[in-house]
Amino acid sequence: MTVDLKSLIDKNDKLVVGLMSGTSKDGVDAALVKLSGKGLNTDIELVKFICVEYEADVRSRLDNLASKCSLKEISELNFLIGNEFAKAALEVIDKAGVSPLDVNLIASHGQTVFHNPPSYKDGTPCTLQIGEIDVIAEKTGITTVGDFRTRDIAAGGEAAPLVPYLDYLLFGKKGTVSIAQNIGGIANATVVTENIDDLIAFDTGPGNMLMDGVVKLATGGKEKYDKDGQLALAGEVNKELLDKLLSDPYYRKPPPKSAGEELFGQEMSATLYSYIENEMLSLQDLMATLLMLTVESIVSSYQNFIFPNWDIDEVIFSGGGCHNPQLMERIKAKLPALKCTTSDDYGIPADAKEAVAFAVLANELISGNTTNLPRVTGAQRRVPMGKIALGRP
């Protein structure tokens, strides 16, 4: 028996599971999406969305990967994460009340464990996402697309951000220019223009990553984030430290650019936590300062790279940062002239957007379409993104 890939390619309406795990490494976002058509005419309907936490052992091994980086550890985690993604896919399918036999495709971003884009100017550009797609295809029986970032790196690009293709499909409007602002572990902004070829996007800097990292260190891992920004609310911004953090050359570098854990991850969190250990700052004051770092880096990126070139009508927020009222209030206060909404207003929950994006990118790959945007990533040309692991016959 053979897998009938041609009938999948020719099918206009598809049920696709999009799977995503970001820099927070807390688990898998799983979105079951109905897609009709392809290319810029794709219709998108979210059927079901869930978040599935990693097993405690897997989460611990991911957190310790930087300090325990043997080839055996990486290889094992590649398969373990594949299993975790497969479980998340089957769970969202089950909770949607459909059968795996009804699902046409799975799209897996995987778990980024290393990212070294050309802009870092540090050896050979490369990127690594683990979560073996052959494991997902075998466990679910469903054809799986993954490894979306490597082709753009091979073409000279940053391999990030990749969500702007979806941002254009969801938010593009004739006669308007908006910003789609995602605040996950890393924050990224897409300038959604009338013409997709004019669109730009880039990582603005840390979103929740540094705040989350410090909370985990301060609580011995018992707490993963500053719930509702209450720690930050109780503290005062240390201007000297804030100015020092904002002096990082990354913020002044023009797009295309991307950032990740290598710049704003565990190592930097530990350095910042030393301010508490050495009794230089309270936890509350450090959290207030890091929250304002996210605010200032987002707003200054608009002032430096967006506002001089476009008149913006709206900022559309997504990502976990939307649930931090202190963060959102401070960003909005610095953008009083702009309408601020969330992706929920467009039918996509703020937490689900990136998982939906990879479902769309997988559909485009099997349709033979290119989805990287060289103006965004800096790639030399448009390329197809992703690799295919065929499901069971």
Among 185, 181, 201, 188, smallest CA distance to 316 is for 181
pLDDT tens by residue, 301-358: 999 999 999 999 999 999 999 999 999 999 999 999 999 999 999 999 999 999 999 9
Asked if 265 and 271 count as a contact pair (C-beta separation under 8 A), the reply is no
Among 154, 151, 83, 70, smallest CA distance to 113 is for 70
pTM: 0.93
Task: Report the greatest alpha carbon distance in the chain.
Answer: 67
pLDDT value of residue 2: 59
Q: Which residues of the chain have pLDDT under 70?
A: 1-2
At 40, list the tokens.
């810029």
Answer yes or no: same fold for 5-161+351-389 and 164-346.
yes
Q: How many residues does the chain have?
A: 393
Domain 5-161+351-389 has CATH 3.40.120.10: no
pLDDT value of residue 25: 81
* In this structure, CATH architecture of domain 164-346: 2-Layer Sandwich (3.30)
Asked if 126 and 135 count as a contact pair (C-beta separation under 8 A), the reply is no
pLDDT tens by residue, 169-184: 999 999 999 999 999 9
- Say how many C-beta atoms besides its own lie within 10 A of residue 9's C-beta: 12
- Measured distance CA(271)–CA(244) in Å, rounded: 13
The domain ranges of the chain are 5-161+351-389, 164-346
Asked if 150 and 368 count as a contact pair (C-beta separation under 8 A), the reply is no
